[in-house]
Amino acid sequence: MLMNIGLHVDIANNGLEALNMCKTQEYDLILMDCHMPEMDGYEATKEIRSQCPWSQNIAIIALTANVISEGRQKCFDSGMNDFVSKPVTPDQLLNVLCKYLPDILLEPTDNEEDKKRNDN
């Protein structure tokens, strides 16, 4: 779905891999699964925030099945900015992406710009 709306996507298979990817590449946003092998999403987020200075300026969004208030608080305590509960619907995902990537997702397409020029 993310690629269908024109976003470039990198996928980490575990939290340690996510951390290592963030050490070599800067991202506009990170979707973090909270329950991953080797290093969970909470610890990976803490490490990314502490080891990757650029990460202070981007959102890390939790993907979690744990929607009780303690689970939400654990996300925030680890340095995540927001969360989306699983299973994630396309609308939920698009809403959170628009919230944190408005300049990327809300740019007019060429057709919309042409229409505006023709209307004037």
Q: Give the residue extent of every domain in the chain.
A: 15-100
Q: Helix, strand or coil for residue 30?
A: strand
Just give the CATH number of 15-100.
Answer: 3.40.50.2300
State the pTM of this model: 0.82
Q: What is the pLDDT of residue 60?
A: 98
Q: Per residue of the chain (120 residues), what is the pLDDT tens digit?
A: 788 888 899 999 999 999 999 999 999 999 999 999 899 999 999 999 999 999 999 999 999 886 676 788 899 999 999 999 888 888 999 999 999 998 877 654 444 444 444 444
| 3-state DSSP assignment of residue 2 | coil
The residues near 17 (Cβ < 8 Å, ≥ 6 apart) are: 38
Are the C-beta atoms of 14 and 36 separated by less than 8 Å? yes
Question: What six digits make up the tokens of 66?
Answer: 């744990």
pLDDT value at residue 6: 83
Return the structure tokens found at 19: 């951390």
- Is the Cβ–Cβ distance between 117 and 17 less than 8 Å? no
